[in-house]
Structure 1
Amino acid sequence: MNTLTLSRFVPITLSQTHKWMLLASICIFALALLSIGYGPAGWDWRLAIAWLAPEYFNQFDALQINVVMQIRLPRFVLAVLVGLVLAQTGAATQALCRNPLADPSIIGISAGAAMVAVAFIALSAQFNFNAQLYLPYASFLGALGVTSLVYFIAKQQGQINITTLILVGVAINALAFAVIGLLSFFADDSALRLINYWTMGSLGGASWSTIIQAAPLLFISLIGLWRLKNPMNLLLIGESQAQYLGVDTNKLKLYVIILVALGVGAVVALTGLIGFVGLVVPHIARLMVGPHLRNMLPLCMLIGVVVLLLSDWLARIVIMPSELPIGIITALLGAPLFIYLIVKNKRGWS
């Protein structure tokens, strides 16, 4: 299997990286105006910029102001955070495994979080308790539990075996989705609808309170992985070479696994399962600026935000006033693009 390395790295100048980052930032700003200003009545540019210039709020009634400040703006902020985390954890997982087909779901983190959350939804119908109150905590504990299990199984003689890590993750994915299917089969109609909608992902539950609750976990993951980008970059050269250069690869793997679990567990708790972002976005950034994480990681995170904002906007408008799960949109956008990238890069992924 082809692996990610720096052996064929073609230097990309910092100015080129900045140009791509500037373009991505412009796209984010445009999508912010579109996302916040667009509603069932169409797009209102004044409403779109009202959150930037409070004096414009005088032109709107209390209901419109409340919609922007309590529904659309929190949803935009959540999309930004989720895009940053999914893209960064995807890039970190690919660097950790030195495998371009890796993403956080491959080691079972997303599936573990989803399995425990779905169990809570199914049990809530049987025991009459509000699953929504416990769902974030349940999914995070599921992600943490699966990560711990995978780590201890993959650790052999003090070393973390990446091949074992991936194989155990594949097995846990299969088991988790089998359990989800079994629980869905026995769930009542209301629970089944919630399970199906949640497992396909949605930003519809965004609120300032949920963002504040999850923000510490998300920022720990974001800041921690950002600080590890240089040792992860050395890991791309090869594990033995990284050790010669002073990197404690076992500690690095442990830290990356924990931080990825922290970020993905928090995201799944907030939005459900959103696929293909962590898998495809790092490839796009890598094609633009090369595999060096100094250049690739910040651009990857910005592209992740663009993808999430665009997907969420499409999910809102396709069947307005209802909305599609965002996971459907990311899969429809991501799967064909990933196939194209595979065909284009038949000669190698490095």
Structure 2
Amino acid sequence: MAALSDIETIPHHRETRANTLHWALAGALVLSCFASLQVGATDVTLSTMLAKLIHGETLSQIERVVLFDIRLPRLAMGVLVGAALAVSGAAMQGLFRNPLADPGIVGVGAGAGLGAILAIVLGTLLPAWLIDLTGNQLTPFAAFLGGWGSTILLYRVSTRHGRTSVATMLLAGIALGALAGALSGILVYIADDTQLRDLTFWGLGSLAGASWAKVFAAGPMILLAIGVSLTLGRGLNGLALGEATAAHIGIDVQRMKSTGILAVAGATGAAVAVSGGIGFIGIVVPHLLRLASGPDHRTLLLNAALLGATLLILADMIARVVIAPAELPIGIVTAVLGAPVFLWILLKRRGLVEL
């Protein structure tokens, strides 16, 4: 047990830095939430509505709709999706001991994308009763099923005699991604103009379709998966020493892998289902936090949830105001901001930059 005790012995200055960072991120999240409620396509502002409520005035119908039916569910979805992607990325990097790992390794992105494309292009061929039952939730539902299905397939392929091979999962994930891409290409080829627009918008990610129905549908799965992921911190610290050493010091490596992969699949699948494809949050956030406060997963996972939620809310604000009253897909914003940051992180790790 000495090895695990050594890795979990945090220097006082690093522990202080981690605690300070935690509260700073919590404060930043609160401020970004207020800012998000203040910004929108209309002139209705949160400060105006709060002033009315403080003075005992009633909100107009437009103000109630803007606040409670548009901005609040959009904010809630942004917090959930950002936290889910960031925590999933941190967990995957720890499980695979690979700093380039992201939730897409377990096949969620490829499967969810194929499921969404199937729903958009072929959804009209479904029985009328099923279309009426799912309504406008058909695409998120299909994306979630596709993400989970691909993850279960990868897990079964890479698990033999009760042991999951990381290398096999990586290679199988590449093959599955190629197959899903080929099938998606066929469907895109036969899609009409309207379906192509829907496919493009979904693939780039957006919170524009946020509603309380989607929040309540995805929220429980995301919160449960994040909660499970947060319990893996000590085990991930041990796994950093290697699988053999982790098993020697009492960590059930196979159980932790299974739990982590399923938690990541649940969180990412639900997030992608309601928001579409949003990149770089899951891979950049853990890197930034490791640079700021070290590799201890007990604090890294929680801080990843806070920073991921904050960054996605800020990206959504940019997406809403940069070409207002229209808005950019949020995936474009995260890519434009995330790619240079990720490149800087890689250069810094190689000692090619000073700051």
Same fold, TM exceeding 0.5? yes
Structure-2 separation of matches of 1:325 and 1:125: 25
Q: Which moved more, 1:30-39 or 1:198-207?
A: 30-39
Q: Deviations over 1:96-144 (max 9, x none)?
A: 1000000011232111111111111100245584773322221111111
Q: CA deviation at 1:10?
A: 7.3
Q: Which moved more, 1:301-310 or 1:59-68?
A: 59-68
**Aligned residue for 2:208?**
204
- Is 1:37–1:47's contact at 8 Å kept on the other side of the alignment? no
Q: CA deviation at 1:38?
A: 1.5
- Is 1:85–1:264's contact at 8 Å kept on the other side of the alignment? yes
- Is 1:112–1:146's contact at 8 Å kept on the other side of the alignment? yes
Structure-1 separation of matches of 2:91 and 2:325: 37
**Aligned residue for 1:220?**
224
Q: CA deviation at 1:152?
A: 1.4
Instruction: Give, as a single letter, the amino acid of the residue that structure 1 aligns with 2:36.
Output: S
**Aligned residue for 1:28?**
29
Q: CA deviation at 1:48?
A: 6.8
1:1-350 alignment to 2 at 5 Å? Answer: 11=11, 12-41=13-42, 44-47=45-48, 49=50, 54-55=53-54, 58=57, 60-125=59-124, 129=131, 132-346=136-350
Q: CA deviation at 1:47?
A: 3.9
Structure-1 separation of matches of 2:23 and 2:149: 39
- Is 1:222–1:263's contact at 8 Å kept on the other side of the alignment? yes
Instruction: Give, as a single letter, the amino acid of the residue that structure 2 aligns with 1:250.
Output: Q
- 1:32 and 1:48, CA in 2 relative to 1: closer, same or farther beyond 3 A? farther
Structure-1 separation of matches of 2:174 and 2:102: 12
- 1:39 and 1:133, CA in 2 relative to 1: closer, same or farther beyond 3 A? closer
- Is 1:86–1:278's contact at 8 Å kept on the other side of the alignment? yes
Structure-1 separation of matches of 2:61 and 2:109: 39
TM-score normalised over the length of structure 1:
0.91
Structure-1 separation of matches of 2:277 and 2:19: 31
Q: CA deviation at 1:205?
A: 1.2
Structure-1 separation of matches of 2:8 and 2:227: 29
Structure-2 separation of matches of 1:207 and 1:19: 34
Structure-1 separation of matches of 2:231 and 2:249: 17
- Is 1:46–1:56's contact at 8 Å kept on the other side of the alignment? no
- 1:143 and 1:15, CA in 2 relative to 1: closer, same or farther beyond 3 A? same
Instruction: Give, as a single letter, the amino acid of the residue that structure 2 aligns with 1:39.
Output: G
- 1:30 and 1:56, CA in 2 relative to 1: closer, same or farther beyond 3 A? farther
Structure-2 separation of matches of 1:133 and 1:123: 14
Q: Deviations over 1:188-230 (max 9, x none)?
A: 1111111110011111111112111222211210111111221
Structure-1 separation of matches of 2:214 and 2:106: 26
Q: CA deviation at 1:268?
A: 1.0
Q: Which moved more, 1:39-48 or 1:299-308?
A: 39-48
Instruction: Give, as a single letter, the amino acid of the residue that structure 2 aligns with 1:312.
Output: D
- Is 1:97–1:162's contact at 8 Å kept on the other side of the alignment? yes
Instruction: Give, as a single letter, the amino acid of the residue that structure 2 aligns with 1:240.
Output: A
Instruction: Give, as a single letter, the amino acid of the residue that structure 2 aligns with 1:32.
Output: C
- Is 1:197–1:325's contact at 8 Å kept on the other side of the alignment? yes
**Aligned residue for 2:3?**
none
Structure-1 separation of matches of 2:34 and 2:283: 27
Give the secondary structure class of the aligned counterpart of 1:39. Answer: coil
Structure-1 separation of matches of 2:226 and 2:56: 33
Structure-2 separation of matches of 1:13 and 1:254: 31
Structure-1 separation of matches of 2:144 and 2:42: 37
- Is 2:144–2:270's contact at 8 Å kept on the other side of the alignment? yes
- 1:39 and 1:136, CA in 2 relative to 1: closer, same or farther beyond 3 A? closer
Structure-2 separation of matches of 1:67 and 1:181: 38
TM-score normalised over the length of structure 2:
0.89
